[in-house]
């Protein structure tokens, strides 16, 4: 009879310990599990998929990118078929981050993380598959907390709530053409992102606030500023102004973001690799992004 209280105390202690550990791990995640989250997968197969997790619905929207799509690779690597991008990222010792950056630059959509194609098993409808992937190693910039949130999200989404979109079907956006290497493939018509996709990549938490933004840059960084502005508007804030600045402090930085809303600030910082700065944006703006020389765009 004396053993029962001891076992009960032990069980309660284990439960509390596990709860505290999980709480700590989840607190270190980027994704809060409640708002839209977009990641890209790639790997040795050359397949590229963009996954948008939408907890409000709940749903998972998967966009398949044709392998022969020519993209403008980030960091100045030039034009390349997207199926060869993962190999380039390994050769240059950058890793999958190059894929994430290139999707943002070429498609003008906000991508927040990357996973090796093996890692998308975290979103499988099969519990055993999700468990095996959770405890296996794969290249990603997701935190352990992010992986756990994706794992548990799988319980909420049925097969019926998973939508697959073939980007090759949008001929006004991906135009069949002869590529730089002479092969047939697709080139991106930058200003023709279909409204359906704009709706997928707009963050409802940000868009419903009706925020206005300003993007600041020095003269030689205006092209990067324009690209950033297009992605920013897809994300949600209304781009109200571009502004010229002279700031030598940004020589070694990618960008700096200030925003009245902390969620918006963190989201922009994640997409563009910006440094977050406390304080209010200048003027009457809700969001201010200052473009630096090292911005990947």
- The predicted-structure confidence for 181-237, as pLDDT tens digits, reads as follows 888 999 999 888 889 999 999 999 999 999 999 999 987 889 999 999 999 999 999
Contact between residue 116 and residue 129 where contact means Cβ atoms under 8 Å apart: no
Q: Which residues contact 291 (CB under 8 A, 6 or more apart)?
A: 215, 216, 217, 218, 221, 224, 225, 228, 250, 255
CA distance 130 to 123: 7
Alpha-carbon distances, residue 117 vs 6, 29, 41, 50, 86 (angstroms): 46, 20, 5, 11, 11
Q: What is the pLDDT of residue 7?
A: 58
* Contact by Cβ (8 Å): 192, 172: yes
Q: Interhelix angle for 3-27 vs 144-153, to 10°? A: 110
- Tell me: the pLDDT tens digits for 118-161? 999 999 999 999 999 999 989 999 999 999 999 999 898 888 88
Which of 113, 145, 169 is the endpoint of a domain?
A: 169
pLDDT at 13: 47
pTM attached to this predicted model: 0.86
Q: Please, what is the average pLDDT of the chain?
A: 87
Contact 217, 96 (CB under 8 A): no
Look up tokens 């600041």; give the residue: 216
Print burial letters for 50-64: b (CB count within 10 Å at least 16), e (below 16). bbbbbbeeebbbbbe
Residues 163 and 221 in one domain: no
Q: What is the CATH number of the domain that holds 126?
A: 3.30.420.590
Percentage of the residues of the chain whose pLDDT score is greater than 70: 88
- How would residue 22 be classed by pLDDT, with cut points 50, 70 and 90? very low
Residue 31 lies in a domain: no
Question: How far is Cα 279 from Cα 258, in angstroms, rounded to an integer?
Answer: 7
Q: What's the DSSP call for residue 280?
A: P
* pLDDT on residue 20: 37
CATH of the domain at 273: 3.30.70.2390
Structural domain range at position 274: 203-291
Within a domain: residue 77? Answer: yes
β-pair partners for 214: 241, 288
Task: Tell me the CA distances in angstroms from 40 to 44, 101, 115, one per residue in order.
Answer: 14, 10, 6
Distance CA 262, CA 247 (A): 25
Beta carbons of 293 and 253 less than 8 angstroms apart: yes
Q: How many independent structural domains does the chain possess?
A: 2
Of 169, 191, 220, which residue constitutes the final position of a domain? 169
pLDDT score recorded for residue 27: 44
The radius of gyration of the chain from alpha carbons, rounded to an integer in Å, stands at 21
Closest CA to 71 of 59, 60, 82, 57: 82
Same domain for 123 and 76: yes
Query: pLDDT value at position 275?
Result: 92
* CA pair distance 215, 242, nearest whole angstrom: 5
Same domain, 44 and 152: yes
162, 208: one domain: no
What is the predicted pLDDT for the residue at 250?
A: 66
Q: Which 3 state secondary structure label does DSSP give 141? A: coil
Whether residues 164 and 214 fall in one domain: no
Does residue 296 lie within any of the structural domains? Answer: no
Distance CA 207, CA 216 (A): 21
CA dihedral 103, 107, 108, 109 (to 10 degrees): -60
Contacts of 208 (CB under 8 A, 6+ apart): none
Structure tokens that stand for 245 in this block: 């600045």
Q: Are 165 and 209 part of one and the same domain? A: no
74 contacts 193 by C-beta, under 8 angstroms: no
């Amino acid at each position: 009879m004396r053993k029962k209280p001891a076992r009960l105390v032990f069980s309660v202690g284990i439960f509390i310990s596990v709860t505290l550990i999980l709480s700590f791990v989840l607190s270190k995640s980027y994704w809060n599990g409640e708002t839209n989250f977009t990641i890209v997968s790639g790997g040795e197969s050359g397949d590229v998929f963009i996954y948008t997790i939408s907890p409000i619905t709940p749903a998972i929207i998967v966009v398949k990118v044709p392998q022969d799509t020519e993209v403008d690779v980030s960091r100045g690597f030039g034009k390349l078929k997207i199926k060869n991008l993962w190999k380039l990222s390994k050769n240059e010792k950058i890793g999958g981050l190059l894929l994430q950056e290139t999707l943002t630059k070429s498609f003008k959509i906000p991508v927040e993380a990357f996973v090796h194609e093996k890692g998308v098993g975290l979103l499988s409808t099969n519990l055993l598959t999700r468990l095996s992937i959770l405890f296996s190693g794969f290249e990603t910039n997701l935190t352990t907390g992010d992986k756990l949130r994706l794992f548990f999200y799988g319980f909420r989404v049925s097969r019926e709530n998973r939508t697959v979109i073939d980007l090759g079907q949008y001929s006004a956006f991906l135009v069949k053409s002869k590529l730089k290497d002479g092969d047939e493939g697709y080139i991106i018509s930058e200003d023709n992102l279909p409204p359906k996709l704009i709706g997928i990549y707009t963050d409802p938490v940000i868009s419903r606030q009706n925020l206005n933004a300003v993007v600041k840059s020095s003269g030689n960084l205006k092209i990067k500023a324009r690209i950033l502005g297009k992605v920013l508007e897809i994300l949600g804030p209304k781009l109200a102004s571009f502004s010229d600045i002279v700031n030598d402090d940004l020589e070694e930085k990618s960008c700096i973001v200030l925003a009245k809303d902390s969620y918006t600030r963190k989201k922009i910082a994640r997409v563009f690799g910006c440094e977050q700065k406390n304080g209010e944006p200048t003027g009457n703006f809700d969001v201010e992004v200052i473009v630096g020389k090292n911005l990947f765009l």
